[in-house]
Amino acid sequence: MKFSDYKISDEIKQQLDALGFRRPTDIQFKAIGHILDGEDVMAIAQTGTGKTAAFAIPTIHLIQSKKTKYTKGTVRCLVMVPTRELAKQIAGVYREIGKYTGVKVFGLFGGVEQDQQIATLNNGVDVVVATPGRMFDLISQGELDLSKVDYLILDEADLMLDLGFAKDISDVMRFLPQRRQTLFFSATISKKIKSLAYNVVRNAIRIQISAHNPVAKNITHSVMNVEMDDKRFFLENMIKEYPEKKVIVFARTKVRVSRIVEAMKRVGIESEAMHGGIEQRDRFEILDRFRASENKVLITTDVAARGIDISSVEYVVNYDLPEDPENYVHRCGRTGRGKNKGQAISFCSEDEKPLLEEIEKYTGEDIEQFDIPLSEYREILNETEDGSHNWQRLLDKDNEESDTQEEW
């Protein structure tokens, strides 16, 4: 089936065609028809499978086909998300797909001044993509009215639970009309997720797109054994081997992210850091530069492991293995978006092998081992431009000098 076969407006079809969207992904194929029919949907699908378009396309059409007059502060569709980055991104997807429909979209989140947000709401908005904090702030001030919402969408519901938003989801229900369509999207399923879903959906169509291995099939993921102190040399080697590729590097902490950025700078590789300690406006700008390929290397914590959709990322590097095996799947999902191919490479030190075992247990499969011959390993250490930190080179040089003195 093609998008041109769906009963959606010509304006949406025109834009999907311009964006190169010809055929739906599995989650889109299974969800769009049910949403257009007005049914509640509970959908579980891997990251990178096209969940956002699966709910954006049909809800834009439904809103466009039932145009109503704006009332101060009211909205037709509420999309609740866990993070500001995700709110900005999903709002962008709505605007892009609905470019010619006249549907007005607004990303509502904290970290920016309220006055302009209130003015935008007063001018009339169809779709609000919101994080809970700022949403409840404006509800309490009487600036946001959810009593006319026709469509409620909970996206990345599992992350919302992880971040402690379960009460916020329950609380928002009392501001919404009982007669509404609810769409529930999550990358993973658990007892808590099921309990939350069944509290908000009614007679929902359940859709689950999952392989035995939760890492998407168009992502090749492998692991190489690298000692902790040598990881920066292997990252340098990889980036220099593929200088035109876009790379996201995941580290465990903010401090380690900063150290990796400095290590790359010493060897002439430009990169940018992103983590929770950076101001929100700066984080948005960093992501925009990365999307535009003004910077090709993004070094980050797990703040960028969920929901960030940058279609042209060729490589993900797990510089540090995550302590939560689920985050491994989400990290890998930053590459291979949609129908693109991607590669995820993990550096595993001796101390991290228990983490690797947990990841393999979670995915249900052994991760492909990329064996490095000792001679090649030493060559990578010797070729680094970070001479002041290349202990192997210094040792080799010291041994050479000792050999020379013995000959004399």
Task: Give the Cα separation of 195 and 179 in Å (integer).
Answer: 20
**277 is a domain residue:** yes
- List the structure tokens of 294: 């003004």
Task: Give the Cα separation of 328 and 252 in Å (integer).
Answer: 12
DSSP code of 246? -
- List the structure tokens of 77: 């569709």
Number of domains in the chain: 2
**161 is a domain residue:** yes
The verdict on 230 and 367 lying in the same domain is yes
Where among 186, 209, 232 does a domain terminate?
A: 209
Answer for the pair 308, 85: CB distance below 8 angstroms, yes or no. Answer: yes
The pLDDT score that the predictor gives to residue 232 is 94
Answer for the pair 57, 28: CB distance below 8 angstroms, yes or no. Answer: yes
**304 is a domain residue:** yes
DSSP code of 79? E
The verdict on 188 and 234 lying in the same domain is no
Nearest one of 330, 281, 288, 328 to 310, comparing CA atoms: 288
Domain assignment of residue 362, given as a range: 219-393
The verdict on 297 and 361 lying in the same domain is yes
For 336-360, letters b (16+ CB in 10 Å) and e give bbbeeebbbbbbbbeebeebbebbe
**38 is a domain residue:** yes
The verdict on 198 and 255 lying in the same domain is no
The verdict on 112 and 157 lying in the same domain is yes
Using 50 as the pLDDT threshold, list the residues of the chain that sit under it.
Answer: 391, 393-395, 397-398, 400-408
The pLDDT score that the predictor gives to residue 408 is 33
Where among 153, 184, 209 does a domain terminate?
A: 209
The verdict on 155 and 247 lying in the same domain is no
The verdict on 383 and 260 lying in the same domain is yes
The verdict on 240 and 189 lying in the same domain is no
Q: What is the pLDDT of residues 26-75, one digit of tens each?
A: 899 999 999 999 999 999 887 677 899 999 999 999 999 987 776 777 89
For 60-97, letters b (16+ CB in 10 Å) and e give bbbbbeeeeebeebbbbbbbbbbbbbbbbbbbbbbbeb
Q: What are phi and psi of 125, to 5 degrees?
A: -135, 140
Four-residue CA torsion sign, 123, 129, 131, 135? positive
Answer for the pair 162, 326: CB distance below 8 angstroms, yes or no. Answer: no
> Domain holding 178: CATH number?
3.40.50.300
The verdict on 195 and 223 lying in the same domain is no
- List the structure tokens of 3: 């998008």
**403 is a domain residue:** no
The pLDDT score that the predictor gives to residue 272 is 94
The pLDDT score that the predictor gives to residue 387 is 64
**402 is a domain residue:** no
**404 is a domain residue:** no
The verdict on 301 and 173 lying in the same domain is no
**407 is a domain residue:** no
The verdict on 380 and 312 lying in the same domain is yes
The verdict on 195 and 279 lying in the same domain is no
